[in-house]
Amino acid sequence: MRILSLNGWGGRLGEELVAHVRNADPDVLCLQEATSTPGATSPWLVYRDGGGELLQRANLFAEVAEALPGHQAFFCPAARGTLYDGDLMLQSEWGLATFVRCSLPIIGQVQDFIHGAFSADGFGDHPRSRNAHAVRLHDYATDKTTVVVHLHGLRELDGKGDTPARNAQTKRLIELIDRVRHNGDGLVVCGDFNVLPESRMLAELRDIGLTELVTSRGFTDTRTSHYLKAPRFADYMLVSGNVDVRSFEVVVQPEVSDHRALLLEIG
């Protein structure tokens, strides 16, 4: 089973991202910062915040779903807010997307908020609401059941250090995992955590028996050349001890976001 995790950066490199996903054809794709704007007629919209403007792909979720026709597609919005097509205001949903190959039966799943709650009338103030999505999958080829969880960790304006809100987020994430995982299941947790390698969040996930693959395998950067700041860590992939890791890669090329994709193959 090949699992690809990627922060989609709101689809700012949407065409390149969709092409990469189509070519990679993972069994499970965990995509953060996905967009869905059903009323859009243009492929590009603009997000405005504090006087700045950022391009957003109007319907990244739908485009990726079209690129993976053999997958079940799930969209888990964290908030709905305004994007702009010129002077036209459109309501757009933003959140997580999960794509699972149809040959892998989904025998359990949970989607819930690990910080805040769904915001239906605006993206909200920072730190904004965050959710996580877990799918429990059975692989007929190996006769194994694995829970795959991904999240987009909350963003604090003063950096990636430990905070009470991040500590509470970790507790809610572990509670979510416990709701869907059965005894003996393998567990993969991935996404854009928005924390540092020495964070309490990663320490607590290690305490429940997970191994963090990015730093433990010597990778020192999960950001691409489109991200010009430091520190260079944001994305992580963790696995339980009963997961047979065949390979793990922090993908350097192609660059399809300001985050690097994480690619895991398990047996």
Give the angle 92-95-96 at the CA atoms, nearest 5°. Answer: 140
Class of domain 2-266: alpha beta
Average pLDDT over residues 208-237: 97
pLDDT digits 0-9 by tens, 97-145 = 999 999 999 999 999 999 999 999 999 888 999 999 999 999 999 999 9
Q: What 3-state DSSP class applies to 104?
A: coil
Half-sphere exposure (Cβ direction) of 142: Cα atoms closer than 13 Å: 16
* pLDDT-based confidence at residue 157 (cuts at 50, 70, 90): confident
The residues near 43 (Cβ < 8 Å, ≥ 6 apart) are: 14, 57, 58, 59
- Distance, in Å, from the CA atom of 114 to the CA atom of 131, rounded to the nearest integer, reads 5
The Cα–Cα gap between 205 and 195 comes to 13
The pLDDT of residue 71 is 98
pTM of the model: 0.97
Mean of the pLDDT values across residues 238-265?
Answer: 98
Q: Which of 45-49, 176-180, 181-185 has the lowest mean pLDDT?
A: 45-49
pLDDT attached to residue 105: 98
The DSSP secondary structure of 224-251, one letter per residue, reads -TT--SS----EEEEEETTS-EEEEEE-
